[in-house]
Amino acid sequence: MSHWQQNTRNTLKGADKCNAFFYSEQFTEQNFPIKIPLEFANLIDKRNPNDPLLKQVLPQIKIEQQGFSVEPLEDEKNSPVAGLIHKYPNRVLLIASRVCAIHCQYCFRQNFNYSEHDAISNWQAIEDYIRTHPQINEVILSGGDPLSLSDEKLQVLISNIERIPHIKNLRFHTRSAVVTPSRITVELVKMLDKTRLSVVLVTHVNHANELSNKFAKAIQQLTRVTLLNQSVLLKDVNDSVSVLSTLSSDLFALGILPYYLHLLDKVSGAEHFLVDDATATKLHRELGKKLSGYLVPRLVRDENLAAKTWL
């Protein structure tokens, strides 16, 4: 077993273990199971019950609120083939893995039917679909988290994608890179260096406190990869100009360009994270006054069927 796989097994699961680790009584069992890798948990200030990293993994009692649902994006309506989601003409998203290193309590896919949507086991049907749609030039690996796969499985998946001649770009969307930075292995770096595809890796970082020294060292190995970041705007986590501007500046110092700032996907159980549209728009406008344009992520909302909308 590799070092990063051992680290993913060193994970806090369940309210009792988390309360013991954080010297707390805040954790309770709710709908979405608790899962926090120790590499991330060790960044949390145990003395601060309002730590912004803690809040992302701390379950709250669901508040009944209009507009929230178990599957807010209804991904399966855009899935012509199991394991593949096609919302944009030129690109498809593959459910590369059903596993995440961490359970963020705002995750919009926490109720997704992963058992039927697995890109590896459904690969032949996926390949046939992509080959019959030559307008598709990009494949996005998501999940779960694609970096929860072993290097060997990732290599098989990438090799399969490379065989489709009209695919030019390969994009990873990953939370694992920052919460378990040991996942960026020498083997992974070599794999991404040698592929014929242009590789984009989109990290998911919401707060500058997540940017550990281990992550900084690991991510800078990816010298031939375009590095972008997407964040989710979360109440009492990063809903301030100072927090977001620090995040953008610190990301850029690591060679990562701020890309998206997502409004919350309204999944049941995440009601307490909601920042309303007016507040979000004002915040984004103020961010634009403080930062150079290339450091200001786009403020976006995912829609059920109509892809992303810009605010």
Ordered by where they begin, the domains of the chain are 3-308 (3.20.20.70)
Mean pLDDT, all residues of the chain = 93
Instruction: For residues 253-277, give the mean pLDDT.
Output: 95
Residue 6 confidence (pLDDT) above 80 = no
pLDDT in tens, 144-199: 899 999 999 999 999 999 999 999 999 999 999 999 999 999 999 999 999 999 99
Order of strands, edge to edge, in the sheet holding 226-232? Answer: 84-88, 91-97, 138-143, 169-174, 198-204, 226-232, 257-262, 298-302, 308-310
Contacts of 7 (CB under 8 A, 6+ apart): 37, 38, 39, 180, 182, 183
Is 18 annotated to bind ligand? no
At 9 the pLDDT is: 79
pLDDT in tens, 106-147: 998 887 777 788 899 999 999 999 999 999 999 999 988 999
Residue 309 confidence (pLDDT) above 90 = no
Residue 306 confidence (pLDDT) above 60 = no
